């Protein structure tokens, strides 16, 4: 079993937050949406506003805790990120 797969199903929420981006990027569902409000690109730190961009969404479920995390990527940075994977 892959290390990410192991953490995905066995770790509580507090420990998952310590791992950070590794868990997020393994679980994220990406959608291309229009950014009506200003957001910061997670890769380049540029402001995304009134443009099409990619939004990654992950929901974490833990006993008593429900959390949704969003990360935004500018279109160009998202394309480069996918090509580097």
How is residue 20 written in tokens?
Answer: 């950070």
Q: Can you give the pTM of this predicted structure?
A: 0.72
Number of domains in the chain: 1
For residue 69, give its domain range: 3-84
Please tell me the predicted confidence (pLDDT) of residue 20: 65
> pLDDT means per 10 residues in the chain (85 residues)?
46 49 84 95 93 92 82 93 88
Tokens 């994220």, located at residue: 28
Distance CA 78, CA 51 (A): 14
Q: Are 29 and 44 within 8 A, CB to CB?
A: no
Distance CA 78, CA 33 (A): 13
Please tell me the predicted confidence (pLDDT) of residue 78: 92
């Amino acid at each position: 079993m892959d290390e990410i797969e192991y953490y995905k199903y066995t770790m509580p929420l507090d420990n998952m937050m310590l791992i950070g981006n590794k868990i997020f990027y393994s679980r994220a569902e990406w959608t291309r949406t229009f950014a009506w409000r200003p957001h910061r690109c997670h890769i380049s730190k540029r402001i995304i506003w009134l443009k099409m961009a990619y939004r990654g969404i992950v929901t974490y479920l833990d006993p008593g805790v429900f959390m949704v995390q969003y990360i935004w990527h500018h279109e160009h940075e998202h394309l480069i990120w996918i090509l580097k994977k």
